Amino acid sequence: MQEPTLLLLTALADAPRHGYALIQEIATISDGRVKMRTGTLYGALDRLLGQGLIEVAAEEVVDGRARRTYALTDAGRTALATEAERLRAVATEAERRLAKVRSMLQGKTGPELRSTIGGSFA
Amino acid sequence: MTTPTLGAPSTALRAALQFYPASYRRERGEEMAAVFADTTAEADRSAVAREVFDLAAYGLRVRLGLTGGSVAGRVLALAAPMVAGALAGSGLVPWVSNPDQSAFRLTWDQSYTTYALTIAPPVAAILLAVAALLGRWTAVRVVSLGLAFFGLTVLAQAFSGPIFLDWWWAGYVGMATVPSMISALLLVAAPTELLPGPTWRTRGLVLASMVGGGLLVALQRWDDTRFPLDVQWFAVLLIVPVLLTFTVLRGWLAPAAVGVAVLSLTTAASVFNIWREARGLSQLLPLALPVVGLLVLVAMGMRRIGAGTGIDGGAGGGSGRSPA
């Protein structure tokens, strides 16, 4: 799953949201790193609607502005949960390996440290 | 959806929305205008310009049927690593197959133009390969557009040479330059969100396509008489990939993507050589029309067999990867 898709599904995980709210939520989740533009957002929404991962939850007019609210479908929730589990497994494995190296390096410096790291990959 | 209008949208927004088909505009125009107004409320001019460009670009994709949810978009995304690799491989052919001749060109004169014209294509090909291997698709597109522009310039010069509209010479030059233009268009048209990351599978595909594309172009080189191809082979190099693209009618995206990638390299050379060997359009048409008719029948047959196998839905026939 590509990152924009993951962020979009995550932004919809806890509540249905409309277009601009999704852009704001994605910026928050990604710590300001991803600023989705309007065309890109609607490209992703169209694709996810086509795949049945999201649905239009409501259509309304707020302050004279057209507003559609989008929500995850059951298939979308399953896809997001599967991806979250996959990412969790990768992160756990990364932490386990880093912790292993850290424990080997405790108290070692300089050449000794380098030979320990080299030896662990030999 | 019936809604009141949002107020006077900016000229740029109206222009961007014109890129969308009327039906899409009716369905989503008001909503998109509202989101656009919110996102650009406190933005500076350059940010507004980027929003407008992004909105217009997606509109063009919707109009051309090249969105991330469309079959064509998914085929192009699958083909992108192969197209980029093949283009890179083809750019390196003169330097790999005949380095002496390429080096000799550098001694023609001391002008910067000669150096640039000789060195730029292989350097661009290497940059293209590196960018594709790293999954840097913006760089891939920029370099491929540069190669296409270079090719277009050379082709324009061929057309405006000493003999005005010398179709033979333009055809020869076109064989070498048109593939870069087709490839650049395909790479730009591929939906960005579906382009693959730099996985080992993608890198392998890029490298294999570099070798395959290089061999394919080396085989078709008109100035290399070591491997002269009969006209039948040019027909094969055109018809087989066209048949591969028909597999999309049954929902098989991967073989269709291979067909697209091969066609990006073989179309120009095949069409030109078939036309050249047939000695004119009047001789070619009686041969070509039955073949085209047969291909249309095959396509209709595959379409009929493929009906209901998911070519319009998200299933993708199992050959492509998930577009999510």
String of DSSP letters for B109-128:
---HHHHHHHHHHHHHHHHH
Q: Per the structure, how many domains does chain A have?
A: 1
Q: Does B79 touch chain A (CB under 8 A)?
A: no
Best interface-test mutation with B: which of A1, A36, A37 has the largest number of B CBs within 10 A? A37
Q: What is the pLDDT of residue B307?
A: 56
d(CA B315, CA B306): 13
d(CA B221, CA B149): 21
Name which of B4, B69, B193 is nearest A2 (Cβ-Cβ).
B193
d(CA B294, CA B297): 5
pLDDT at B174 over 90: no
If pLDDT is split at 50, 70 and 90, which confidence band does A119 have?
low
DSSP class of residue B73 equals H
Q: What angle do CA B81, B82, B84 make, to 5 degrees?
A: 65
Q: Which of A80-94, B79-93, B117-131, B292-306 has the lowest mean pLDDT?
A: B292-306
pLDDT mean over B174-190: 92
d(CA B158, CA B172): 9
pLDDT mean over B154-182: 79
If pLDDT is split at 50, 70 and 90, which confidence band does B321 have?
very low
pLDDT at B105 over 80: no
Contact B34 A50 (CB under 8 A): no
If pLDDT is split at 50, 70 and 90, which confidence band does B131 have?
very high
3-state class (DSSP) for residue B225 = coil
B226: phi then psi, degrees, rounded to nearest 5? -75, -30
Model pLDDT for residues B247-267, shown as the tens digit of each residue: 888 888 999 999 999 999 888
d(CA B260, CA B258): 5
Name which of A38, A59, A65 is nearest B51 (Cβ-Cβ).
A38
Model pLDDT for residues B268-300, shown as the tens digit of each residue: 888 888 887 777 777 777 777 888 888 888 888
pLDDT at B4 over 60: no
pLDDT at B101 over 80: no
Task: Output Rg (C-alpha) for chain A, integer angstroms.
Answer: 21
Contact A53 B32 (CB under 8 A): no
String of DSSP letters for B241-303:
HHHHHHGGGGT-HHHHHHHHHHHHHHHHHHHHHHHHHHTSHHHHHHHHHHHHHHHHHHHHHHH
CA quadruple B161, B143, B64, A37: dihedral, nearest 10: -140
Every domain of chain B and the residues it spans: 11-63, 65-318
String of DSSP letters for A91-107:
HHHHHHHHHHHHHHHTT
pLDDT at A79 over 70: yes
Q: What is the pLDDT of residue B301?
A: 80
Best interface-test mutation with B: which of A42, A56, A68, A80 has the largest number of B CBs within 10 A? A42
The tokens of B181 are what? Answer: 């233009």
**Looking at per-residue confidence, does B131 or B157 come out higher?**
B131
Contact B324 A67 (CB under 8 A): no
B67 burial level (CB within 10 Å; 0-12, 13-18, 19+): buried
User: Where does chain A show beta strands of DSSP type E?
Assistant: 17-18, 54-62, 65-72
Domain range for A29 is 3-121
Please name every residue paired with A72 in a beta bridge, in sequence order, or none if there are none: A54
**Looking at per-residue confidence, does A9 or B314 come out higher?**
A9
pLDDT at B177 over 70: yes
Model pLDDT for residues B41-70, shown as the tens digit of each residue: 888 888 899 999 999 999 999 999 999 889
DSSP class of residue B192 equals G
State which residue of chain B sits closest to A9, comparing Cα positions. B324
If pLDDT is split at 50, 70 and 90, which confidence band does B165 have?
low
d(CA B73, CA B191): 6
